[in-house]
Structures are given as C-alpha cells and as structure tokens.
C-alpha cells in the first residue's frame, strides 16, 4: 500500500470539503446576501485573485495574485509575444484570469457563518460603481449597510451557452444583525481566503505546466501534437469567459 498516496488523497478531500463549506455559489433563482468587511483587510472587502483555469482538469491559484513570480504566467506571456497566432491563442488559454471574492452572510442562512462569494468582472464593476455612488456609499457597514439581491439564471434559462448573474442593491439600510454577540461571532468565524485557495510553489506550478503541455508523455512529437491541439482548442471569447466563471469555477 502506498501510504503517501493515501495521505495525499486524504489531504485533497479535506481541502475540497473545506472549500465547499466556505464558499457560496448562487443557486438558480433569487437570493439575498450581505457583503461584510473582510477581517484580514478591513479597508476593502473585495479580494482579487488570479487563477489558471482547467489545466489538465485542475485550477491553480496564481502567485501573481500576491505579486510573486509564476512560471505558467511567464510561459503564457512569452507565447503571446512570439507573433504566432496559435501561440497567442494558447497563451490566452493558460494565462491567469481574475476572480473577485467578498465575504458574505446569506440571509436565511446566517447560522452557516461567513462564506466567500466569487464573481466575475461584470458583477464586480457594478458593485464598485454602487459603492462609489454617494447615494449608496459603504454597503458593507454593519449598521447602515444594505443587502444585495442576487439572481442567478442557468444557461438553459438564458438561452445562451453560459449562465448569468444579476444584482440589485436594496434601498433600505439595515443592520447585519441586532445581536452584538452574533456580529462578533460572524467576524471571528471569517477565514483568510488563502486558507481556502492555497498557493503552489514555483516548482510545483512548473511541474503542473509541463504535465499539461506534455499530456503525460515526454516525447518531442507528443509535445508538438499537444501544443497544436491546445492552440486550436475552442475557447470562450472574453465576454463569455467572464460571464461563465460562475459555472466553470465551482464545478
């Protein structure tokens, strides 16, 4: 029996369970959430992270999220600068893409504590625009903030190839809770986002990139074939990619 393999699998399952319990994904229909201040950066509740999506069926947190070197991103940018159309397409496919997270309390599910809601560029821009509007201001304030209605529609409902998420900030200002002890508990229960999405080392990401490009083979012919196949693979355009993250990211 390979005990190391058993331990690695146990670690993977524990990480997956931890991630599931600490993330919130809108379900089809209308839900109401409240964004609350982020315990680890009270000046800004929004956490911008960059990910490499679907590399051999896996997603990887990019170190560029924290200003550190990333071999996959370096490779992607080199490909995009070669002048080759195929290289550029492959570079776009593997380069890191931004995903924004915010700590939220889901109304009606307060007992589940603080979870992280991940969303794409469209929702992020709308939230920033609302907060920048002096008529709204800090919607995360514990006493005078505002709840957000989130409507999620599946691809089948939208009639498109990707789902959609729309938001509406409620006009009434309401406290997160009237119970000070509950509020304190919510604040204390927050996790650091890096406990949920853990950064791989430079060497680990290099290995992941090599395995992705080689397709499990070390022969030069296989490398060339895989590179061509990847470069010609169908991809989302930028608008579809942004709107499809809610579906792609949580699968």
Both tokens of residue 205? 């990401």
Q: According to the model, what pLDDT value does residue 13 have? A: 47
CA dihedral 22→27→29→33, nearest 10 degrees, is: 10
Q: Which is it for the CA torsion 248, 105, 111, 163, positive or negative?
A: negative
Low-confidence ranges of the chain (pLDDT < 50): 12-13, 16-17, 217-224, 226, 228-251
Size of the chain in residues: 251
Q: How far apart are CA 174 and CA 176, in angstroms?
A: 7
Q: According to the model, what pLDDT value does residue 203 have? A: 97
The domain spans of the chain are 23-184+216-249
Please list the residues that pair with 148 across neighbouring strands: 33, 169
First vs last C-alpha separation in the chain: 31
Contact (Cβ atoms closer than 8 angstroms) between residue 60 and residue 212: no
Any residues with CB less than 8 A from the CB of 58 and at least 6 apart, and which? 208
Radius of gyration of the chain, Cα coordinates, nearest whole angstrom: 20
Which residue is listed with tokens 């146990």? 10
* CATH of the structural domain 23-184+216-249, one choice from 3.40.710.10, 3.40.960.10, 3.90.1150.10, 3.90.198.10: 3.90.198.10
Q: According to the model, what pLDDT value does residue 18 have? A: 52
pTM of the full structure = 0.78
Q: According to the model, what pLDDT value does residue 182 have? A: 85
pLDDT in tens, 128-182: 999 999 999 999 999 999 999 999 999 999 998 889 999 999 999 999 988 888 8
């Amino acid at each position: 029996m390979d005990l190391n393999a058993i331990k690695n699998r146990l670690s993977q399952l524990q990480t997956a369970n931890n991630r599931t319990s600490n993330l919130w994904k809108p379900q089809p229909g209308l839900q109401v959430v409240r964004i609350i201040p982020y315990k680890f950066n009270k000046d800004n509740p929004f956490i911008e992270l960059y990910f490499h999506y679907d590399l051999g069926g896996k997603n990887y947190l990019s170190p560029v999220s924290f200003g550190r070197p990333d071999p996959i991103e370096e490779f992607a940018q080199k490909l995009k600068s070669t002048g080759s159309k195929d290289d550029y397409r492959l570079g776009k496919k593997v380069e890191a893409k931004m995903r924004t997270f915010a700590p939220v309390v889901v109304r009606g599910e307060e007992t589940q504590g603080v979870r992280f809601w991940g969303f794409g560029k469209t929702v992020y821009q709308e939230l920033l625009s609302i907060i920048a509007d002096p008529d709204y201001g800090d919607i995360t304030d514990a006493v005078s903030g505002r709840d957000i209605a989130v409507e999620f529609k599946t691809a089948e409902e939208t009639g498109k190839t990707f789902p959609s998420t729309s938001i509406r900030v409620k006009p009434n200002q309401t406290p997160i809770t009237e119970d000070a002890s509950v509020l304190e508990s919510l604040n204390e229960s927050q996790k650091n986002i890096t406990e949920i999405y853990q950064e791989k080392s430079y060497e680990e990401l290099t290995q992941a990139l090599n395995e992705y490009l080689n397709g499990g083979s070390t022969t030069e012919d296989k490398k060339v074939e895989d590179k061509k196949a990847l470069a010609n693979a169908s991809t989302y355009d930028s608008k579809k990619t942004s709107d499809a993250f809610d579906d792609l990211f949580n699968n």
